[in-house]
Structure 1
Amino acid sequence: MKNRLATAAISVIAICVVLAGCAGSAGDDENPDAGGSDSQGTIKVANIMTSSGALAANADTVRQTWQYAIDEVNEAGGAGGYDFEFVEMDTDASPAASVRAATQAVTQEGASILVSFQTSPENAAVNPQLAALNALSINTVAQDDGLRGASCSPNAFNIVQSNSMLFNTLAGQIDDFDGEKWAIMSVDYSVGHGGADAFAAAAEESGKEIVSQQFAPLNTTDYGSYITEIQRSGADALLLIMYGPDAEAFVNQAEQYDLASQIDTTLTLNVITDQSFESLGDKVLGDYLIKQYDAAADNELNQSFVDGYTESFGTPPNDYAGNAYIGAQALFAAVAEAESDDPEAIRSALSGMTFDSIAGSVEIRADDHQALTPTYLAQVVEGDDGLAFEVLSTIPGEESAPEPSSECTL
């Protein structure tokens, strides 16, 4: 297996400088924000996302993080002799619309790197088109195991952890949760079904009972019947997989139904972020969550990112921001190594690459293009300045990731 270790540095800017011999001074007479005068060219990164509905808030976080990372590396002179341009495209998150947007981004806008597809069905639809488009996809959001299996692509790279990796975080720890009868309440989407299946398998292996499974469509506003079903099931523990406004609506309505008086343990995925503390408040105090990124990780790269991001946006980076930034770090390190804007050369550099990131040293497996980033079990606690996350355990990606799927042929 390839093992190309990017030299440690204090920021993604330094990764570029150390590895690539990046262009010198940033800026030019026409555009002071552009890459250095020695730039060999510009690599266009197309951000394809939805701007409405339950996914919009997370999509905007991913968008602003990619823009932040690109501005940062360009100010340092680029990577591998190239600077980067951010192209923004809008989609309704349907597979067909996202394929059209991807095609337009490449053929009309000149993009060769596609990022920010929010859902697994979008990624599964775009992946088969990547070779013909001569483009690469860097997935930092969609968690479905199938994207690492039958729907994998030689031109697609998964930075975000898969459902299996996320729920393998609980290995050996479900026994420690109060409650024996679990209800699963999830968004009716591939990530929800995949997450529910992964959790059910882990729970049953630990001797827990699944007494209810329900799936609500995206953008549901009334959860009364779902909450009533949970109460009737006799559940004393709850797994909640939801996004943005959907999660907020469920949590608020659960309080109205006094669901907490019956539920000893609530475990969440994609529900609670630093940004949602204000709206959810004490209703999530004590809840557990599976995290994909730890803003408190003690390394120089991470602290530099957290400080810069917080100064720019007034809030610390959440899981979506963390994964997007790691995706950008992977891209810049690959371009630095390839010293080329050719997608095939960048793909070759990414496959099997090991690079320093805000989550520590990360390998992108050559067999299925899955990044082996750590996962975290955390709990919402009362911190010095309000609600905060306390990380209870950290599971290295090498331990949480299943073996590469035989259905993935690269």
Structure 2
Amino acid sequence: MARKLSRRGMLRATGVAGVAGLAGCTGALSGGSGMSIGVLQPVSGDLGYYGQQALWGFFSGLAYKGDTDPIEESTTGSYTVTAGDTEYELIVRDTQFSADTAQSAATDLVENEDVDMLFGTASSGAAGRVIDTVVDTAEVPFMAGPAASAGITSNEGTCSDLVFRASENTAMDARSGGKYVATETDISSVYLFGADYSFGRAVVNNYEQVLSNNGVEILGKRFVPQGYSEWDGLLQNAEDAGADGVVGGFTVSTLPQMFTSYLQGDYSYSVFGGLATQVTSQVVGQTLQQALGEPLTQEKLDNSGLGPFTTRYHWNQYDNEINSSFVDSYTSAYGVVPDLFTSGTFTAASAIVQAVEESGSTSGSDVAGALRGMTVTDTPKGENGYTFQEYNNQARSAMTVANLAPTSDEWSDSWDAAIQPGEPLATIGKGETTIPADAPGMNCSL
């Protein structure tokens, strides 16, 4: 757990310049009307879309609670949204997918902008750095997301009663998709691949645990650098080992190269894992078109050996009034359908508003108190679709498993990729998706 020390004292002790006033003290208390939130997301560079969809989901959650249209921007600056009797000031900073930049931006937001709370980032490494150097030292609440490493809310070093996450994580991917593969398919042995950094290692380690616990033999695992492209030999290793399935824990920088080699080779196993964002689906779709020919058909995809895949959220996986409203307003504002990260960040905003309303306060400490154990009423996964666990402040929510499908005419104008998630094969309830309090991998006790 994080240490409980004076914010001003800790900032001085760690060499950070002192603050004029403790962050959060300017937030209105009961009867007040304003809350400031420092927002940290990458909105430039190759992975700028990750930050954009995180922002758009967050903006949409605030808009839903305020019965208004979402902010249409995805750039740095200050924005205001009114929900209920409270005006929320959002101060957006670009982290550039860098832990150093995120740390500097978070420090500035706490010191010079006196924010009541922080929200971000898309990078797990950056989120961990912000927790370690700003949240723990300044004692300012932090809503992490869409950073997905399970360790943020399960490792002792980052777990804290001030750190919350509505966004889904890699353990939830594994506990839903891995269990489905173990119990609903013929796969009995698996080879695991992942990127050699926090996200990839979290994917591999969580799949290893879940698959092993459900009787699937782990034949080997290998971590490679981001952007790795020499896949023929590694995929052949999995074939030679007798694997029925392979997991790939990668983002867009690596996954297309792996898929290309797999589709061009002659392997007897299938590849499964998590469904990705539109930017990855674009490249994977192009890879599939080149390997399988156009047009892509459901038969071609079914015979490709790819799947099944877990999805944290996609627009067509949940049928309820809140999600329908979300899809409509998001598509109208941004020209694309809600993507992988957006339900978690929508829910983050929805939860903050709910916490303000329930506590009658915009003070960061009061909002944090209201968030603990909260079941969030308004979410894209349905009413009461997310609940913050009291032992680690991670929100549990349902997950779905789906195969790939050709992008339908209905969504072709708002989903710029040749493939989309198919109809859900299964929905895993929120009570089964997160790491239990007594599990070996849970080193958090608040």
Q: TM-score range by the shorter chain?
A: 0.7 to 0.9
1:257-289 Cα distance to aligned partner (Å, 9 max, x none): x23x314322122x5334544432272934221
Q: Where does residue 12 of structure 1 map in the other structure?
A: none
CA 1:241–1:263 in structure 2 vs 1: closer, same or farther (change >3 Å)? farther
- 1:399 corresponds to which of 405, 427, 432: 432
Question: 1: distance between equivalents of 2:135 and 2:63?
Answer: 26
Provide the TM-score with structure 2 as the length reference: 0.74
Amino acid at match of 2:170: N
Q: Where does residue 94 of structure 2 map in the other structure?
A: 90
Q: Alignment RMSD, CA only?
A: 2.9
Describe the SS at the equivalent of 2:390.
coil
Describe the SS at the equivalent of 1:319.
coil
Aligned ranges for residues 365-384 of structure 1 at < 5 Å?
Answer: 365-382=389-406, 384=408
Are 1:277 and 1:387, in contact at CA under 8 Å, matched by a contact in 2? yes
Are 1:127 and 1:155, in contact at CA under 8 Å, matched by a contact in 2? no
The Cα of 1:240 is off from its aligned counterpart by 1.3
The Cα of 1:55 is off from its aligned counterpart by 4.1
Find out whether 1:191 has 2:199 as its counterpart.
yes
Q: Where does residue 290 of structure 1 map in the other structure?
A: 310
Unpaired runs of at least 5, structure 1: 1-38
Question: 2: distance between equivalents of 1:80 and 1:340?
Answer: 12
The Cα of 1:44 is off from its aligned counterpart by 2.4
Question: 1: distance between equivalents of 2:241 and 2:325?
Answer: 47
Find out whether 1:145 has 2:150 as its counterpart.
yes
Describe the SS at the equivalent of 2:192.
strand
Describe the SS at the equivalent of 1:238.
strand
Question: 1: distance between equivalents of 2:249 and 2:419?
Answer: 20
- 2:245 corresponds to which of 237, 247, 270: 237
Count of aligned positions: 368
1:231-261 Cα distance to aligned partner (Å, 9 max, x none): 5544342111111233233323433xx23x3
Q: Where does residue 35 of structure 1 map in the other structure?
A: none
Q: Using the TM superposition, name which of 97-106 and 203-212 deviates more.
A: 203-212
- 2:50 corresponds to which of 49, 54, 58: 58
Amino acid at match of 1:144: S
Q: Where does residue 110 of structure 2 map in the other structure?
A: 106
Describe the SS at the equivalent of 1:244.
coil
Describe the SS at the equivalent of 1:329.
helix
Are 1:293 and 1:322, in contact at CA under 8 Å, matched by a contact in 2? yes
- 2:381 corresponds to which of 359, 362, 369: 359
1:341-393 Cα distance to aligned partner (Å, 9 max, x none): 20011011111111222212122122211112111111112464364322111
Find out whether 1:213 has 2:221 as its counterpart.
yes
Describe the SS at the equivalent of 1:141.
coil
Are 1:80 and 1:337, in contact at CA under 8 Å, matched by a contact in 2? no
The Cα of 1:319 is off from its aligned counterpart by 1.6
1:99-126 Cα distance to aligned partner (Å, 9 max, x none): 2221112212332222221233333332
Q: Where does residue 279 of structure 1 map in the other structure?
A: 283
Amino acid at match of 2:323: N
Are 1:167 and 1:199, in contact at CA under 8 Å, matched by a contact in 2? yes
CA 1:162–1:277 in structure 2 vs 1: closer, same or farther (change >3 Å)? closer
Are 2:404 and 2:420, in contact at CA under 8 Å, matched by a contact in 1? yes
Amino acid at match of 1:200: E
Question: 1: distance between equivalents of 2:209 and 2:137?
Answer: 38
Q: Using the TM superposition, name which of 374-383 and 231-240 deviates more.
A: 231-240
Question: 2: distance between equivalents of 1:94 and 1:384?
Answer: 36
Q: Where does residue 364 of structure 2 map in the other structure?
A: 343
Q: Where does residue 342 of structure 2 map in the other structure?
A: 321
Question: 2: distance between equivalents of 1:391 and 1:122?
Answer: 32
Q: Where does residue 249 of structure 1 map in the other structure?
A: 257
Find out whether 1:154 has 2:150 as its counterpart.
no
Q: Where does residue 12 of structure 2 map in the other structure?
A: none
Are 2:168 and 2:396, in contact at CA under 8 Å, matched by a contact in 1? yes
Find out whether 1:334 has 2:338 as its counterpart.
no
CA 1:104–1:263 in structure 2 vs 1: closer, same or farther (change >3 Å)? farther
Sequence identity percentage: 20
CA 1:262–1:321 in structure 2 vs 1: closer, same or farther (change >3 Å)? same
1:23-66 Cα distance to aligned partner (Å, 9 max, x none): xxxxxxxxxxxxxxxx9443222221335666433222212332
Q: Using the TM superposition, name which of 331-340 and 384-393 deviates more.
A: 384-393
The Cα of 1:187 is off from its aligned counterpart by 1.5
Amino acid at match of 2:272: L
CA 1:388–1:90 in structure 2 vs 1: closer, same or farther (change >3 Å)? closer
The Cα of 1:131 is off from its aligned counterpart by 5.0
The Cα of 1:188 is off from its aligned counterpart by 1.4
CA 1:56–1:178 in structure 2 vs 1: closer, same or farther (change >3 Å)? farther
Find out whether 1:202 has 2:210 as its counterpart.
yes
Q: Where does residue 48 of structure 1 map in the other structure?
A: 40
Q: Where does residue 24 of structure 1 map in the other structure?
A: none
The Cα of 1:331 is off from its aligned counterpart by 1.1
The Cα of 1:305 is off from its aligned counterpart by 0.2
Are 2:388 and 2:396, in contact at CA under 8 Å, matched by a contact in 1? yes
Amino acid at match of 1:176: E
- 1:126 corresponds to which of 96, 112, 130: 130
Q: Using the TM superposition, name which of 129-138 and 388-397 deviates more.
A: 129-138
The Cα of 1:395 is off from its aligned counterpart by 1.2
Amino acid at match of 2:374: M
Are 1:42 and 1:83, in contact at CA under 8 Å, matched by a contact in 2? yes
- 1:79 corresponds to which of 77, 80, 83: 83
Question: 2: distance between equivalents of 1:206 and 1:132?
Answer: 41
Provide the TM-score with structure 1 as the length reference: 0.79
Find out whether 1:408 has 2:431 as its counterpart.
no
